[in-house]
Chain A
């Protein structure tokens, strides 16, 4: 390979980190051809914490990615065979200092990430919102129960008594209405196989495991319609297991609830009178 070919290959390898970083920046800027390829709009109060964690880890791995890419380019550019025919090769039998450094640095970085994200994890998965009842703090009860089954989300709202599992519950399929600016708690379970309840705009994703009940919570801050997705392969119809999340003001939500509840009561099946 002659000197020019070596230089050309070096530059081609340099294009990898350049193009990699470029694509990310282009997607972040919502540039032409990349619309909707970055994170979906965040509409959760705590979502910015998850996003900042994502960006932090992306930045960290990005620096390593660019560093290794540039190092590869430099070695190809500087030490190619064509330009160093008379150079003497220096053999090395390893460096303990270097080995210790490149073992400790990644370990320390991973440990730092593990500690840094603990608060976000606790907020998302451990510290369930509470309410005070009779002077005692207790976990906030869920507003609805979501049941995954091949290939739909069945939703059961607590009725006027605020308790799920009683006769006044409201049932819907694939359509979840919720009020904004309130701490929402949902209980999720599955009737058949593994599913994953995913609300991309609320940065909520939770596996739904057969035989277990899971709780998720969030605080939406914007009204509108968003996606509910299954994020775990759950069978041949997994691709179509999606629902609609409708976020409304409290007044709109109450109106919708009342209307749906009345409709449900009208639709209820009444057995015919027995024939004489």
Chain B
């Protein structure tokens, strides 16, 4: 008797409509399969691409027609300014546009979507080295999606300290425009993105180093994989620092610590400079 493979059994069940709810969740939602996770990253980022594009339209409208009412949605969104995008809101627009495009489109679509989909296929591996970690790296993006989405609805309706989030503009709750909850939500969101990307980078590096097919030496790797490998190394070096910095900004805003504020207890040395 021929033993059916695990996948064949599942495909058979699904074809007969026999997949239970939990199996469906495991297979398509909280999947550990690199291809499914790649597709999840792809479609999530495409959705954010749309958001980033709409924000870019706002930026371009303000540049092209400053002090003129925005057609159709202007009166609805900016009723107090007569339908115009104020220069102040322009700051918010380009901050959120850049944030969305960099942290929610470019990084996750290149590393998350293409990395996940292509790395095992192009090096001859069965899957990623740590499938559960891989699944978690995608689902850690969701708190980030929610935080950034909510920041559009919290005063002053989107963060406005630039995508670089320089302190003390971003870390001081008294410094306009970071005076509302939007900047706090932004920082929370970016912290989640950082954690997600770190999990991804560990997986990519381990998979590329450890799981290449026999004969696939490092110098026979496709250039795409070399690109992803170097990206993963850079992410592993940079993200812990950036994420920690974002977290320290959060502490400054929420708990009154003084990591970035000269003269406060947490930063005596810098303040003395």
Give the B-binding residues of A (Cβ under 8 A): 150, 192-194, 210-212, 232-240
Query: How far, in whole Å, are A234 and B167 apart by their CA atoms in the complex?
Result: 10
Whose C-beta in chain B lies nearest to the C-beta of A239? B87
Q: Which residue of A lies closest to B86 (CB)?
A: A236
Question: What 0/1 readout, one digit per residue, does chain B (133-160) give for beta carbons within 8 Å of chain A?
Answer: 0000000000000000000000010001
Contact B176 A236 (CB under 8 A): yes
How many of B's residues come within 8 Å of A, CB to CB? 25
Query: Would you mind naming 8 contact pairs between A and B with Cβ atoms under 8 Å apart?
Result: A150-B175, A211-B262, A211-B267, A211-B271, A233-B91, A233-B166, A235-B175, A236-B88
Contact of B177 among A192, A194, A212, A236 (CB under 8 A): A236
Asked if B172 lies at the interface with its beta carbon under 8 angstroms from chain A, I say yes
B161 at the interface (CB under 8 A from A): yes
Q: Please tell me if B270 contacts chain A, counting CB pairs below 8 Å.
A: yes
Contacts of A193 in B (CB 8 A): 166, 168-169, 172, 175
Please determine whether B91 and A192 come into contact, CB atoms closer than 8 angstroms. no
A237 touches B88 (CB 8 A): yes
Contact assessment for A192 and B88 in the assembled complex, using a CB-CB cutoff below 8 Å = no
- Excluding A150-B175, A233-B169, 8 further A-B contacts by CB distance (< 8 Å) are A193-B175, A194-B168, A210-B261, A211-B262, A212-B262, A233-B162, A234-B169, A239-B91
Chain B residue numbers with a CB within 8 Å of A234 are 169
Interfacial chain A residues near B177, Cβ < 8 Å: 235-236
- Candidates A211, A232, A236; contact of B91 at CB < 8 Å: A236
Please give, as numbers and ranges, the residues of chain B lying within 8 Å of A237 by CB-CB distance. Answer: 88, 176
* Inter-chain contacts of A212 with B (CB < 8 A): 262, 273
Interface string of B154-190 (1 = CB under 8 A from A): 0010001110001111001001111000000000000
B263 interface contact, C-beta 8 A: yes
Question: Given A211-B262, A234-B169, do A192 and B175 touch, yes or no (CB 8 Å)?
Answer: yes
Q: Top 5 closest A-B pairs, CB basis?
A: A211-B262, A236-B88, A193-B169, A236-B177, A233-B162
Q: In the bound complex, what is the Cα–Cα distance between A149 and B221 (angstroms)?
A: 53
In the complex, A240→B91 CA distance in Å? Answer: 12
Interface centre among A192, A211, A212, A240 (most CB of B within 10 A): A211
Within the assembled complex, what's the spacing in Å between the Cα atoms of A192 and B167? 10
Whether the Cβ atoms of A233 and B262 lie closer than 8 Å is no
With A192-B168, A235-B175 known to touch, is A211 a contact of B273 (CB < 8 Å)?
Answer: yes
Q: Contact check: which of B160, B172, B271 meets A236 at CB < 8 Å? A: B160
Q: Establish whether residues B175 and A238, one from each chain, have CB atoms under 8 Å apart when the complex forms.
A: no
Whether the Cβ atoms of A194 and B160 lie closer than 8 Å is: no
Q: Is the CB of A235 within 8 A of B160?
A: yes
In the complex the two chains form, what is the Cα distance from A194 to B273 in whole Å?
16
Q: Are B176 and A235 in contact (CB under 8 A)?
A: yes
Least distance between B36 CB and chain A CB atoms (Å): 36
User: Which of A150, A194, A237 has the most C-beta atoms of chain B within 10 angstroms of its own C-beta?
Assistant: A194
**Contact partner, A238, options B91, B178, B270, Cβ 8 Å:** B91
